[in-house]
Every structure is written in structure tokens, then in C-alpha cells.
Chains A and B, each alone.
Chain A
Amino acid sequence: MNEEIRNSTSSSKEDGELVKAFQAGDKTAFDALVLRHKDKLYNLCYWFLGDRQEANDSAQDVFIKVFRSLKKFRFESAFSTWLYRIAANTCKNRLKSSDFRQKKKMVWLDNPGKIEDGQYAAEIHDKTPSPMVELEKKERMMLIQRAIASLPTDQSTVVVLRDIEGLSYEEVSNITGLKFGTVKSRLSRARQQLRKKLRGTL
């Protein structure tokens, strides 16, 4: 986790160079930025939304927004912070949209995993034979994802940024625009909720 943070801060300089190159008219610099951040951004969107297709669409939307407004980027924050802020807002709006809610309902009806006490039953659709460990891992992943998705958006955003993406409190604060104390309290509540939801799993 710490290594990731170090990597991200050390690469912020390179991001800055690419942004400057793009602003100077080098269109390939944008491609370089996409290649550098696409996986992290996709992963972030996936954990925010819990759906690969939604994550892909949203990540693309984010980069399109970036492309449109990169000329106006004034280096008031790191490029990655700015990128994640756009991603957080895009995914938040996506979660609010009626399309997404409709889709979410359909998925849940098809796969009703929720049982009493707010816990989730293990339900594996993948019938292909795989090692037990792999199966358990997949199961755990799915349960974690569902538990995060069940949190209020303000809590899930903070926990994804802090615990999954491994960002610092400061970075989370910059991305979300929340005060330091608010980030701490929301993260604390989110973790407690998740602990309860995943009691039987972890």
C-alpha cells in the first residue's frame, strides 16, 4: 500500500510533464496519461460501482472529461488527485442515476444474496472447476464488493479511496473535498459497518 503511495507521488512529476506537453499541443501526451492511469482508474470505478461494464463506461467518461478540460488544468493539485476527483464525482452521479438503479435492481433480483442480519450468502455462479482457494478468494471478493456497495455513497467513497486505493487522508480529503476530520469519522463509520457486514466472511 505504502509502496503504491510512493509510486504515485513519484510519478506525479511525470504526470505534470505529460500534462504540460498536452497543453503545448502534444496529443500523444494524453494517450500516455491514459495508459499510466487507466488500470487504477478502472479499478477505482469498479469498486465504486461494483460492475465491470459500468466501470469501463465510467472510466472512459472520466478520461473524456479529462481530455476536454486538461487545457485548463492549473496544477493546483496533483494530476492523479484531479483525475480521482473527477472519477469520484462521475461514479457518484452514476450511482444516483435511475439507469444504474434499475440495472442494480435487476442484478439483485437475479442474484438475491442478501440474508438476515445484513450479511451476504455465498453464491458462486462460476461453475468451471477451480482450486478451492481461488474459489474462496473470488467469493470473498464478491462479498466485499457487495458490502461496500451497500454502504452510503459518502462512506463507500472514503473507504475505497483509503483502504482499497491506499491513498493518504490528505489525498482523500483533496479528492472528496471533505475536511480532514470528516474523512476520519466517515472512514471510521464505514469500517465499522463493513466489519459488521463481513463478520462471518473474514
Chain B
Amino acid sequence: MECAKIKDLLSEYIDGTLDAQTKALVDEHLLACPECNEELASLKTLIRELGSVESFKAPDDFLEKLHERLEPRFSFRKIMRILFVPGRIKIPLEFATATAMAVLIFSILYIQQPEKMIQGVPENSTHVKVTEKTSMDTVSPSGKGASFKSKPVPGKATEQQPAKKREIIELTLLLEKEGTGKAYTPGESIEAAPARQRDAERPRTARLAAPKAEMKTDTLRRKKQVTGIAEEERPVIEEETRASLSSLHDTFIKVKELIMLAEGRTLSVEYEPNTERPKSIRAEIPAKNYKTFYDKLNRLAILQTSPPTISEKDQGTIEIRIRFKSS
């Protein structure tokens, strides 16, 4: 019994943590007990041995591997913090949604742009109204095919209803040769307007013949009979007012003035390469003013064009190209 108690105390005895009284008891026992002495010696050996065991070192890539395990957590926690911490969540997510929507809308509009260009090809042919395809199917991969199908055929162009948004209207201004006409005074042509209006509303075949018939006043009357236009509807006043500008330049200035009066703006002017005479003028005017503009232009000179099919209620602007053509 005594030895068992002493053996339990030997561990502390070696470490020197026993109080003085207990230590004295152990010392006394050890002097007389070889078994406990042996136990003490082997315990000391064990403790010495345990204290001198090899120290194992961590692998060289320990920190690197630790970083590998920590890095995803870094970024993951960062994302979580940015996105889901209350107070921060709302602004970035809403902003992200708004940005995504903006990108989406922009990309849709951007994709539609080339379609417009394809559709704009028939612009060169006269009297062709280019309808802008606004339906969503142009965005789809089959959009190209669809747009080709919907491309206006020149012969049928006049039968088509113009698009509400924008159309490019070709107007050909037939001018008399220089020096043969009289100066144009806007106020003089008031009475002539209704006649011109009717004239413009004639079928296309008739219109095509009309400009030739209106080259000069003497031939005019003759050709009017041919085309079946009533003589009384064509007052003599026409002779003084219609298509009687002496110079192309004056007409050009007047046209520009008319565009301005119609609250429109001139987009570009095309000149003939040799003579530098104005060949055509491209302008943009509000649709509501088109009718008035057309009427005024009609009084200015002989027009080769379709009648104004745009109502005054139309919103937006329309694009027109006025060609100057010497008779």
C-alpha cells in the first residue's frame, strides 16, 4: 500500500511540484525501498526520452497549402459580404439588375441596326418607301431572312402604307432651263394650290407623264389635253408661278428656306461632281408639317413624286430627299 501511494507521487516528485512535507515522506520511503527507486529511475528515463523525441517539422509547402485552402474562402466570403450584408445588398443588386437590363436593351437595339441597313438598300430607287421593321422577330437568328422577304418591291411600293415612324421620301423637283422662267413669288400661287393638290393625287402612271407635260406653258396645255386634265382646273396663273425659277441656285435656297419653315433641318446636300450644282438635298422634317411642306414645294416647282400620304397627326420626323432635275 505504501509503495502504491509513493508510486503515484513519483511523477510529481520528479517535476518538483510536491509540497515539502510530502516530498520528505517520499524521500524517506525511497531510502528504504529499492522497487520504488527502480520505478523512479525508469520514470526519469521515460520523461527524458519523451523530452528528447524527434521534433517533426511541417512540410515546406504548409503555408502555401494553407493559402490554397483559405483563398477560395477569402473570395467567397468577400462576395457574400458584398452581396448579402444588409444595407449593402440592395444597391449593388439593383444596380446590377439595372445594368443588365440596359445591356440587354442596348444589345437588342444594336442587333436591329444592321437590319435597318439591309432594308435601306432600295433607297436609291425612286418612289420606294422604306418601311422600318420594328417587330421583335428581326432580333431572332431568322431575322435576316424575314427582313429580305419584307423588303419592299419597287412596283408595289406605292401601294404600301407608310410606316408611322420614319420613311424616306424621294421628291424630284423638275426645273426649267435657266433664264426661261420667271421669279417665284410665294403669294402668287395660292389659287393654284388646290389644282396641284389634285394633280398630285393622280395615279402614278398619270403622274409620270405629268412632269413632261408641264415643261413649258405652251406645251403644257397641249399635253394636259392628252393626259385628260380639265383645262379649267389649270388656271392661266400657273404660267407665272409654277416652275418658273430662273436659276437652280435660287430654287436650292428656296427649298432650304421651306425646310426651315417646316421646322425641319437639312441633313446633307449632294453636288454634281463636274458642275458643282446641287443635285439633291436630304432633309428631315416633322411629319405633321410634311403636307404643308409638300404643298409649298409643289408651288415652287414641278414635283415628280407621290402625294403626301402622311397625315398631320403623325408623330415623329420623316426623311426626304429632293432631287433637282433640269428639264
A199 within 8 A of B: yes
Pick the interface stretch among B53-61, B116-124, B224-232: B53-61
A16 within 8 A of B: no
B136 within 8 A of A: no
Residues in B neighbouring A67, C-beta threshold 8 A: 70
Contact check, A60 vs B57: say whether CB atoms are below 8 A apart. Answer: no
Residues in B neighbouring A192, C-beta threshold 8 A: 7, 11, 43
B198 within 8 A of A: no
Within 8 A of B (CB), among A77-127: none
Within 8 A of B (CB), among A34-87: 34-35, 38-43, 46-47, 52, 55-56, 59-60, 63-64, 67
Contact check, B51 vs A56: say whether CB atoms are below 8 A apart. Answer: no
Secondary structure of the B side of the interface? helix
A159 within 8 A of B: yes
CB distance from A145 to the nearest CB of B (A): 8
A144 to B48, CA, bound (A): 12
Within 8 A of B (CB), among A114-165: 137, 140-141, 144, 159, 163-164
Within 8 A of A (CB), among B59-75: 59, 62-63, 65-66, 69-70, 73
A44 to B58, CA, bound (A): 10
Proximity string of chain A (152-184) to chain B, C-beta cutoff 8 Å, 1 when within and 0 when not: 000000010001101001000000000000001
B47 within 8 A of A: yes
CB distance from B286 to the nearest CB of A (A): 62
Residues in B neighbouring A39, C-beta threshold 8 A: 55-58
Contact check, B50 vs A164: say whether CB atoms are below 8 A apart. Answer: yes
CB distance from B69 to the nearest CB of A (A): 6
Secondary structure of the A side of the interface? helix
Residues in B neighbouring A59, C-beta threshold 8 A: 58, 62
A31 to B65, CA, bound (A): 12
Contact check, B63 vs A35: say whether CB atoms are below 8 A apart. Answer: yes
B219 within 8 A of A: no
Q: Known contacts A159-B50, A191-B47; is A56 also within 8 Å of B59 by CB? A: yes
A31 to B10, CA, bound (A): 42
A59 to B57, CA, bound (A): 11
Q: Known contacts A164-B50, A199-B42; is A187 also within 8 Å of B11 by CB? A: yes
Residues in B neighbouring A56, C-beta threshold 8 A: 58-59, 62
> Residue of B at shortest CB range from A38?
B58
Contact check, B51 vs A191: say whether CB atoms are below 8 A apart. Answer: no
Interface residues on A, range: 35 or more
CB distance from B6 to the nearest CB of A (A): 11
Residues in B neighbouring A144, C-beta threshold 8 A: 49-50, 53
Residues in B neighbouring A24, C-beta threshold 8 A: none
A8 to B50, CA, bound (A): 19
A49 to B233, CA, bound (A): 115
Q: Known contacts A141-B53, A163-B51; is A169 also within 8 Å of B66 by CB? A: no
Q: Give the number of residues in B that approach A within 8 Å (Cβ atoms).
A: 31
A13 within 8 A of B: no
Contact check, A195 vs B70: say whether CB atoms are below 8 A apart. Answer: no
A9 within 8 A of B: no
CB distance from B68 to the nearest CB of A (A): 10
Proximity string of chain B (178-191) to chain A, C-beta cutoff 8 Å, 1 when within and 0 when not: 00000000000000
A1 within 8 A of B: yes
Contact check, A191 vs B58: say whether CB atoms are below 8 A apart. Answer: no
CB distance from B52 to the nearest CB of A (A): 9
B326 within 8 A of A: no
Contact check, A184 vs B55: say whether CB atoms are below 8 A apart. Answer: no
A164 to B51, CA, bound (A): 5
A117 to B273, CA, bound (A): 116
Proximity string of chain B (1-29) to chain A, C-beta cutoff 8 Å, 1 when within and 0 when not: 00000011111100101000000000000
Residues in A neighbouring B73, C-beta threshold 8 A: 64
Residues in A neighbouring B65, C-beta threshold 8 A: 60
Q: Known contacts A31-B63, A35-B63, A56-B59; is A166 also within 8 Å of B51 by CB? A: yes
A99 to B238, CA, bound (A): 108
Contact check, A184 vs B17: say whether CB atoms are below 8 A apart. Answer: yes
Contact check, B70 vs A64: say whether CB atoms are below 8 A apart. Answer: yes
A35 to B63, CA, bound (A): 7
Contact check, B62 vs A141: say whether CB atoms are below 8 A apart. Answer: no
A199 to B39, CA, bound (A): 11
B46 within 8 A of A: yes
Contact check, B46 vs A198: say whether CB atoms are below 8 A apart. Answer: yes
B311 within 8 A of A: no
A and B contact pairs by CB, cutoff 8 A, 5 listed: A38-B58, A144-B53, A163-B50, A191-B47, A202-B45
Q: What are the 6 closest A-B residue pairs judged by CB atoms, nearest first?
A: A188-B11, A42-B58, A163-B50, A38-B58, A39-B57, A46-B56
Q: Mark A residues whose CB is within 8 Å of B.
A: 1, 31, 34-35, 38-43, 46-47, 52, 55-56, 59-60, 63-64, 67, 137, 140-141, 144, 159, 163-164, 166, 169, 184-185, 187-188, 191-192, 194-195, 198-199, 202
